[in-house]
Structure 1
Amino acid sequence: MAAGVSETMTSEKRRQSLSESDTKEGYFENAPGAHYRAERGQAATDIHGNPLVELDPVAETKLRRKIDLYIIPTVAILYLFCFIDRANIGNARLDKLEKDLDLHGYDYNTLLSIFYVGYIVFEIPANIACKWMGPGWFLPLTSLGFGIMSVCMAFVNNFSQACGVRFLLGVFEAGMMPGIAYYLSRWYRRSELTLRLSLYIVMSPLAGAFGGLLASGILKLDHFGSLHGWRMIFGIEGIITVGLSLIGFLTLTDHPATAKWLSQEEKDLAIARVKSERIGQTEIIDKMDAKKLKRGIFNPVVFFTGFAFLLNNITVQGLAFFAPTVVATIYPTKNIIQKQLLTVPPYVVGGFFTVLMPLISRRLDRRQIIIIACCPLVMVGYIMFLATENAHIRYGAAFLVSTSVFAAGPLTNSQVSANVVSDTARSSAIAYNVMLGNVGGLVATWSFLPFDAPKYHIGNGINLAASSGTLIIALCLLIWMKRDNTKRELRNAEEELTGMSQQEIQDLDYKHPGFRWKP
């Protein structure tokens, strides 16, 4: 069958491999020398969650690198421009956007908020559509949508038109972050997923850096067609997004079984290694039903991780939308290009730590303790913002905040993915987590208000409280997970599963007696 699954298998047995729908038979090498026969409707773990397959780590490494090469660059670049198209309004604000659109008072904050209304309302439906349609089609299609909306933003002439476009931008971007996370969970093991999530979510801070550089470069142009000034930012960046989405239609595929760039043996190995971690599941891509969708949302770890991400995202999105404004208040004598460029260094530092933290998580196969570790530096950064008016210290505080705040995205999405079992539950769990995260984004749009300028004591206080709350929730959840695992050790899995059909066992998800929380 798959390379590294059993070197002694004949070609005939290899052709009888376990397929995506489990309609074929497969033979997996088990310890020591025996073979596990995975027939249709049969799980790849025992009732305690121990894998019944033994895979060659060399073959896995080779396959993993190939998957990385084909998938990660495309989703990372798409997400980069997803975040740029969302946050470039902050760059445009520095170049007369408010004056040209006749914005007053809280109009700018309202423009930011209307985006999140569309985003939050369509978050879970979008990820359900992603599962139904298939990520290989859904992700490029929704990218095409928000690219077009960015171009439309270049032609708005008043507040009402801008609100309409920003709302539709939120609708199209709603499925991007959870959709990619859900998509990657079809390809990677639990311990591998966090780092891969970071490789696209790192585009959030890099979008701040690259967006600032790109905006400063665009503003040096006299015009782009009929567009001038800030309108060029939306037009040029939107056109780039549309082009990248068209490439995505050619490069992305729904899951391993449909990947034309994998051999049959590689497909079998990709399926076997993911299935070997899913207790009680007889198939990787299961049929969608309401019970499993609810299992994903009302899972205790998912439920409270979502609230931690909500608080964290108040800071993430506040930084994205208001970093140019805050930098402008710290260095009021700088020109527009200099202010744009000063937003870049903190984001570069943030990008480095957004990969470093998940890399540590990958080594330890732990997520919760890393989420906890991310909070103190953010708290110190906002204490510095509140405690001093020195421009250099306040600018330094932005670096401290950036070191940790962006890493919570891959860590929380990986954590909810690790603590559900079925593909359907995973789709709703990740969507719920990102939905709550963007409720935090909605709060962020009202955290830095005009009357609070230029020191923004209220905004910085809100972010200090949010990072403190994230720490408390993450710490309490870790303690609860360990205590509940201790209780689960006392349960008799054989006795509890006696008399249950395979479908009933599969529907248990995290309530399966052999399931253990993955801290």
Structure 2
Amino acid sequence: MGNNNYELPDNDIVDNDDSQKKVLEQKLVLKYDLLLLPFLSFMYLFSSLDRSTLGTIRNAVLDNFEEDVGITPDEFNTCITIFYAGFLLFQVPSNIFLKRFTARRWLPLLMFCWGIIACLHATVSGYTELMILRFLLGVFESGFFPGVLFFLTLFYKKNEMATRIALFWGSSVIAHSFAGVLAYAILRLRGAHGMTGWQWLFIVEGVPTVVVAIIAWFYLPASPETWNRLSSEERELAVARLEDKKQHVTLGDLDASNRKQAFKAFTDWKVWVWMIMFFSGSVANTSISNFLPLIIKGLGYEDKLSANLMSAPPYLSAVVVMIVVAHSSDRFQERTFHAILGASICIIGYTLPIILTDKKGLYGAVFIAVTGIFVINPIVNAWLTSNIAPEMKRSVAAAMAVSANNSAGLLGANIYRRSDAPRYIRGHSISLGFLCLFIILALIQRFLLQRENRLRDTIYKELQEDGIREENEAQQGGPLAAETRIGDESYDFRYRL
């Protein structure tokens, strides 16, 4: 009887402790969402404004940029493409430097350098100069997004990442909208102080980048346990709540002990399927981001500045849809059909311009395409990182996926040709084909992961029924040898769909 009298209070104490911890954790995550994530998103907004595919150059071309610099439309496309060459070449070295200098130092340093390069675009006077500057811009921007993803893992749990990646990525989408409105105003300065509108555009977008980079140098924390904006209790919880205390690994940690896991990322079929998915989903993303003002101009909005202004509303819609779908994906822990939803919206948007001919209908189609295109990458990124282990293998796999994502820019920057104006059927058709491929691959990946989970359920059940089998296999070096089944290869690992 006495024991029974104590059970209920003990349970109440445990429940109260759990409830209190949950409330404190919610407040901690909210503090991250208010103090850290918006600032990182603000930094990425400037990256999106400054880079060739997501900001300035696509607006500058509508202000006689090609004529002033003395380049042809094909050379302009080459200058867009060369950005991705620098972007791809420096991603791995940047990942290594990130570990050496820490994210709080490396991210502002990258931002400062690309801000200077962006400002120098205002002085360009020829094709060769422009090529060099675009290449260097790609070099310095290449490590920022992967660096931020790593930085966020120091603060957020894995099941919180898709929403935060979407919120962070939202700054890029907002930048598309903001760039159009900003360009509409700034390009009107053509002639002021003897400068062209596009020169003003590069300066106005480049100088604030440098200023924000300097602020970031002093603002960003090294880690939650050393952040002075958190209380001592919050710091302890920040460390304790992460499910894997050793999850923060980059290519800078590559050594003899984990080289085998890094190599396994290159030989894992799942990683390659996700890479092709990233590439397929990003062809449409990079192409529409590069040329949306020109596409809209081809729809009948002949005024150059109006074309920039009309490119803003689709991006605002895209931000809302991306965040809502990503939050739903996190809440239900489902990736496949949420990613397919985004691709399906895009397919509708890219199909309609091939069929329709009236101005309003075509603009509506572009609106739909842009609304869905940004849903794909945050969800697929969360899908991949939650299914690859251990950490070095995950780090290499993530780097491979980001490389595939950015490689799409090499194609996406060249599928919309001036000769295809005004309807750009070829560009729309290529994007449509890759989106269909994305959906097919997503369904195949889900099927294969489900099949692997069922197989492991069967094997795991057999191991539980006959515990001696595992020991014998391990001693004989058979397929169940414990040392060969680690990370996502372990029989107790289940893939998230």
Which amino acid counterpart does residue 315 of structure 2 have in structure 1?
Answer: Y
Q: Which residue of 2 aligns with 1:305?
A: 274
Q: Which residue of 2 aligns with 1:283?
A: 246
Q: Which residue of 1 aligns with 2:183?
A: 215
Deviation at 1:56, TM superposition (A): 2.9
Query: Could you say if the C-alpha distance between residues 214 and 105 of structure 1 is closer, same or farther in structure 2, counting changes exceeding 3 Å?
Result: closer
Bigger Cα displacement from structure 2, 223-232 vs 430-439: 223-232
Q: Which residue of 2 aligns with 1:509?
A: 487
Q: Is the 8 A contact 2:390 2:488 kept in 1?
A: no
Distance in 1 between the 2:50 and 2:81 partners? 15
Distance in 2 between the 1:313 and 1:373 partners? 15
Distance in 2 between the 1:337 and 1:155 partners? 22
Deviation at 1:298, TM superposition (A): 4.5
1:228-283 deviation digits (Å, cap 9, x = unpaired)? 31111111101111111111112222332332323343233222222x2x4xxx63
Is structure 2 residue 159 aligned with structure 1 residue 191? yes
Q: Which residue of 1 aligns with 2:340?
A: 372
Bigger Cα displacement from structure 2, 104-113 vs 153-162: 104-113
Which amino acid counterpart does residue 204 of structure 2 have in structure 1?
Answer: I
Q: TM-score, normalised by structure 1?
A: 0.83
Q: Which residue of 2 aligns with 1:20?
A: none
Query: Could you say if the C-alpha distance between residues 224 and 128 of structure 1 is closer, same or farther in structure 2, counting changes exceeding 3 Å?
Result: farther
SS in structure 2 of the partner of residue 56 of structure 1:
helix
Q: Which residue of 2 aligns with 1:17?
A: none
Distance in 2 between the 1:514 and 1:259 partners? 36
1:374-394 deviation digits (Å, cap 9, x = unpaired)? 111111111111112222111
Q: Is the 8 A contact 1:185 1:417 kept in 2?
A: no
Which amino acid counterpart does residue 246 of structure 2 have in structure 1?
Answer: E
Distance in 1 between the 2:180 and 2:126 partners? 24
Q: Is the 8 A contact 1:128 1:427 kept in 2?
A: no
Which amino acid counterpart does residue 167 of structure 2 have in structure 1?
Answer: L
Distance in 1 between the 2:406 and 2:346 partners? 19
Q: Is the 8 A contact 2:390 2:486 kept in 1?
A: no
Q: Which residue of 1 aligns with 2:113?
A: 145
Is structure 2 residue 437 aligned with structure 1 residue 469? yes
Q: Which residue of 2 aligns with 1:102?
A: 70
> Which one of 143, 149, 152 corresponds to residue 175 of structure 1?
143
Query: Could you say if the C-alpha distance between residues 56 and 223 of structure 1 is closer, same or farther in structure 2, counting changes exceeding 3 Å?
Result: farther
Distance in 2 between the 1:257 and 1:93 partners? 47
SS in structure 2 of the partner of residue 419 of structure 1:
coil
> Which one of 165, 183, 207 corresponds to residue 239 of structure 1?
207
| 1:292-371 equivalent positions in 2, closer than 5 A | 292-333=261-302, 335-371=303-339
Distance in 2 between the 1:322 and 1:105 partners? 12
Q: Is the 8 A contact 2:87 2:141 kept in 1?
A: yes
Q: Is the 8 A contact 1:380 1:400 kept in 2?
A: yes
Q: Which residue of 1 aligns with 2:8?
A: none
| 1:254-269 equivalent positions in 2, closer than 5 A | 254-269=222-237
Aligned length: 464
Q: TM-score, normalised by structure 2?
A: 0.87
Distance in 2 between the 1:283 and 1:388 partners? 54
Q: Which of 1 and 2 has higher RCO (CA within 8 Å, sep 6+)? A: 1
Q: Which residue of 2 aligns with 1:58?
A: 23
Distance in 2 between the 1:270 and 1:317 partners? 36
* Identity %, equivalent residues: 29
Deviation at 1:226, TM superposition (A): 6.1
User: Which sections of structure 2, spanning at least 5 residues, go unmatched?
Assistant: 1-10
User: Which sections of structure 1, spanning at least 5 residues, go unmatched?
Assistant: 1-29, 34-52
